[in-house]
Structure formats: structure tokens, C-alpha cells
Structure 1
Amino acid sequence: MNQTRSTHKARKRLFIGLISITCFVICVFLAGLWVIPYIGLENIHPAASWIVGVIVLGLIGIVSVAYWGLFLNILTKKPLPGAKRFRGLTIKLFLPLMVLIGRIFGLDKEHIRLSFISVNNDLVLAEAGRYAPKDILLLMPHCLQSSRCDKRLTYDINNCERCGKCPIAGLLELHDKYGVNLAVATGGTIARRIVVQLKPRLIIAVACYRDLSSGIQDTYPLPVYGVLNERPHGPCLDTTVSIDRVEEMLHRFIDTTKIETGRTLSTGQSADL
């Protein structure tokens, strides 16, 4: 547990460092848009350079407010005004630039994405409330199924015999116990289709760091809490996940006064069935 907390803090420090550099680079770039053409703009109109300056300073102000709002949100772990917008800026603006700047400094893309997932989870915890079980989706990758299993779970997860040799049985038990939606997807396209069909208000997604970071970006503004899978045999083969961790998040997000039964959904099925 202490090691997990230490790793989480290290990822947050990496994220804060990269986003600080990113914000600085954006501000310098915007300032350059004013300084570089300053002399030439005077030839167009005496006030042109000042008009551009006001616009640029306004943009710098917006970026700075977004940065400090995000920074305080990360530190306090409390819902601040505009928390959803801070998460949106992180996903749509800061993350791509952070990856680019990370490459310049020789940082591994995996570490950057892991730091992003950690911070995103903190923002979701601060922003999200509690929901009826039918509004929560457990979205799972098909690689959780044992490679030695001959059941077609990617078509219908209910084909699982619950033998306990892979995490699917435990996830089905969570579905039965709490009434949340449970879905298995074979890729990003199928996952997006399932989200569109079920229309959840919150997703608890299990995947590798790459699929989680891209999935969080694709589904914004829908809050996605990411749980990293474990890959003892390498990527996409007999992966596993902590059922206790998933259940812990269900305790955090479920509104027990609105118990309703959710559905299971897999590749090849329709949510309308």
C-alpha cells in the first residue's frame, strides 16, 4: 500500500512538472506572437500592436488561470469551480503538449501517460458524485479472459462458467452484487460503441496505460476512472486486475439509495436487446 501511494505521488510530481513546463512554453509562445511582429504592426495602425497585445495577454491569462486551477485541484483533491473545464484542458490541450515536451527531455511516453491517468483519477474523484448502479459502466478489455478458455465471452460475457481462473468471474460477481453495467470490448471502436449504446454517467475502465489514456481522451466530458490492468505475461495476454480495487471504486461512486439492475454487454451484442 505504501509503495502504491509512493508511486502515485511520483506520477503526480511528474505530471505537475511537465504541465508547469507546458504552461510556460504556451505563455512564451503567445508572448512571442506579440513581441515578434511588434514593429511591423505599427506600420498597419498605431494601435494594432496594443490590440494584439491585449488579446495575447488575455490568452496568457486564460492559460495561467487554467494551470493554477488544475494545480490547486490536484493538490487539494477537492471540487473547485470549473473542475470539469480543468480536466478538459488537461485532456485536450496539456496532454498532447506534455508528450511532445517529454520527448524533448527524453522522458518515456509510458511514464507521462501513467502520470496523466493518476491525475485524471484524482480529478474524477473530486468532480464526480454518486450515481445509480445503472448509470455506472464497468468497461473491461477482452484480454482479461484466460487464453486457455474456449468460451466466447467477447460475444456474450454471460457464457462465462465462473470457474475463477480469470478475473471475469469476479467482475460478474460485482455486477450481480451491485447491479452495475458490465461490458467487455475487443478494442477502442467497440468500446466507444458500447458507451454510446449504454449512455453511462460514469465509467470505471480497466486497461493498459495506452488504452486508458486514449479512452479517457475519446470519452471526454464523460468521467472515466482508470484502473490499470496487470500484465504478468506481457500485453494483451492473460492480463488480470484487482477485483478489490474495482469494488473499492464502486463503493465510492454508487448511490445505494438508487439500486437498479444494470446489464452485461459484450462485442456483437446490442444494448437494446
Structure 2
Amino acid sequence: MKVSIPYIQNYVRKRLFLGLLGGSLLLVGLFAFALWYIIFYPGQSLMNQSLVLALVIFLSVTVVLAALGMAGMLLTLLASRRLSFLQGPMRVGVNIFFPIIIGLGKLLKIDVDRIKRSFIEVNNQMVRASLFRLAPEQLLVLVPHCLQNTQCPHKITVEIDNCRRCGKCCIGNLLALRDRWGVRMGVATGGTLARKLIRDYRPRAVVAVACERDLTSGIQDSNPLPVLGVTNERPFGPCQNTFIDTCKVEEALNFFLEREGGR
């Protein structure tokens, strides 16, 4: 069987995040074991022993939950099927251990954006493991304002339909997708506005376009709301005149909506 290059690349990306998660679990487990040893070290007062024991119990429970979460991620990725009973541990594994994963990656001199791309790949495949039958109005597409040409006088931050669809940036193409699929679309200047748009629209799922940093924080903030992340391209550097392949956005829309009759 012939395996495509994109498939191999996606597999490698996912493996990076899961490997760092496993390494983080091991480090925290070793730390808990070291604390356990300290409890029985001669000369410790009862108060100190009690405090350390409480910390060991907390760390041990956290590690067990995160380990279950990691197992849930692996099973979800392998079986392409959502495991509802492991959703809680998976959230623990990501939300609590993500800073440790980033720290471990920095220690190993792994680019932070590469780690975050790996996390986004893992998240996207876990979302795709679920079955969705959404109506267009139940889906929200969030795009960053940096997609707009910086020289454009028609600002879209408050009202995306201010766009004149002149073709100098990809906002016009995204609006064409919105109109064709009938979904809702909003422009977010950051996490606060993105959360507000989600509260206002109350979608059942989100397709989010952003850089790795904003996508990872947004995915974690929105949990358990399913979010498919699409990373933008930054030929002129961060936060200015960025670009998105609208085919990737349409692919995400198709995933959520195709079972509702398709397009």
C-alpha cells in the first residue's frame, strides 16, 4: 500500500506532541516518587510528612488521570472513534500538562511552534473521530483580522461585511465560502473577542483560523466545544498580511456539514 507524504508528515507531527506528553508524565511521576522518598527520610516532622504526602497523592492522581487521557488520545487516533468516557482525563492531560510539555520541548531545543502544530494535528484528528450532523447555522468560522491587507481602509474587525472583496487579501474568498455554505463567520482580534463571539453565537462546533499560538490557546479555552484548527501562513511575518488556503477551510466545513446534505 502506498502511503502519501502528507500522511507521514501528519503522523510525525502528532507523534511529537504525544511523545512529549509521555515524557512529561514520566518527569512528574519521578518527581512524585522523589517526594514519596522524602516522606520516609529520617528526621522529617509529622507536619512536613503530611504536607508532602498530600502533594504526592495529588501528583499521583494527576499523573494517573493524564496517563488515562494519553491512552484515550492514542486509542482515538488509532481507532478514529471518539471515546466519551475518556474525555475528562484527556482534558486533564492537555490542560495541566501542556505548560510542562512546552517546557520540556524548550529543554530539548524543539521549536515551540512545531510542538503547537503537533498539538493542533492531534486535536483535529480527535475531532474528526466524532460524528457530526450540524446545520450551517450551528457552525462558527473564526478568522483573524491579520488576514486583511494592512493598507485596506475598510476595516472588518467589527463588521466582516465591510470587505469589498477586491481580491487583495483572502477575506473575500472566505466570505464567498460563508455565503455558499451558509455558516456564521466572525473576525477575532484575540482570545477575548473569540470567546465573546462563541458566547454570542453559541455554536456547536468551530472552525478556527489562526497562528499556532492563538489556535492552541483557543482550542484549550473552548474545550469541550469541538474546534478544527487551520493554521495561517505568514509570508510577511506575524500579525500582518497573513494568508490562508481556503481549500483547507472548506475541507473543515465539509467535515462538519457534509452529513447534513453536503454541497
TM over 0.5: yes
Q: Which residue of 2 aligns with 1:32?
A: 34
1:153 counterpart = 2:156: yes
Change (3 A) 1:10 1:158: same
Alpha-carbon deviation of 1:254? Answer: 1.4
In the alignment, the residues of structure 2 paired with residue 210 and residue 128 of structure 1 have an alpha-carbon distance, to the nearest angstrom, of 27
Task: Supply the AA of the counterpart residue of 2:22.
Answer: S
The answer to whether the Cα contact below 8 Å between 1:140 and 1:183 also exists between their aligned partners in 2 is yes
Would the alpha carbon gap of residues 86 and 121 (structure 1) be closer, same or farther in structure 2, given more than 3 Å must change? farther
Counterpart of 1:252 in structure 2 is 255
Residue 8 (structure 2) aligns with? 6
Match of 1:15 in 2: 17
Q: Distance in 1 between matches of 2:77 and 2:148?
A: 35
Looking at structure 2, the residues matched to 135 and 230 of structure 1 have their Cα atoms a distance apart, in angstroms, of: 27
- CA deviation string 1:130-182 (max 9, x = no partner): 31211111000011112232212222111222222221111111111111110
CA contact (8 A) 1:208 1:228 kept: yes
Q: Is the 8 A contact 1:139 1:204 kept in 2?
A: yes
**SS in structure 2 at match of 1:101:** helix
Mapped contact 1:18–1:102 kept (Cα < 8 A):
yes
- Name the CA shift for 1:221/1:38 in 2 (closer, same or farther; >3 Å): same
How far apart, CA to CA, are the structure 1 residues paired with 2:129 and 2:43?
45
What's the counterpart of residue 195 of structure 1?
Answer: 198
Return the letter of the residue paired with 2:189: T
Aligned partner (choices 104, 122, 125) of residue 125 of structure 2? 122
* Percent of residue pairs identical: 38
Contact 1:27 1:63 in 2 (8 A): no
With normalisation by structure 1, the TM-score equals 0.82
Residues 112-147 of structure 1: CA deviation (Å, up to 9, x unaligned) = 111111111111112352312111110000111122
Q: Tell me the SS of whatever aligns to 1:254.
A: helix
CA contact (8 A) 2:232 2:244 kept: yes
Uncovered stretches (5+) of structure 1, i.e. residues with no partner = 260-273
Residues 1-273 of structure 1: pairs in structure 2 closer than 5 A? 2-39=4-41, 60-127=63-130, 129-254=132-257, 257=260
| Maintained 8 Å contact 1:77/1:126 | yes
1:36 partner SS:
helix
Distance (whole Å) between structure 2 residues aligned to residue 56 and residue 144 of structure 1? 43
What CA deviation, in whole Å up to 9, does each residue of 1:230-253 have, x standing for no partner?
Answer: 112221121111111111111111
Paired letter, 1:11: R
Moved more, 85-94 or 196-205: 85-94
- Residue identity matched to 1:158: D
Measure how far apart 1:24 and its partner are.
1.1
Name the structure, 1 or 2, with higher relative contact order (CA <8 Å, separation 6+): 1
Letter in 2 for 1:203: V
Structure 2 unaligned blocks of 5 or more: none
Does the aligned pair in 1 maintain the 2:68–2:86 contact within 8 Å? no
Distance 1:173 1:80, change over 3 A: same
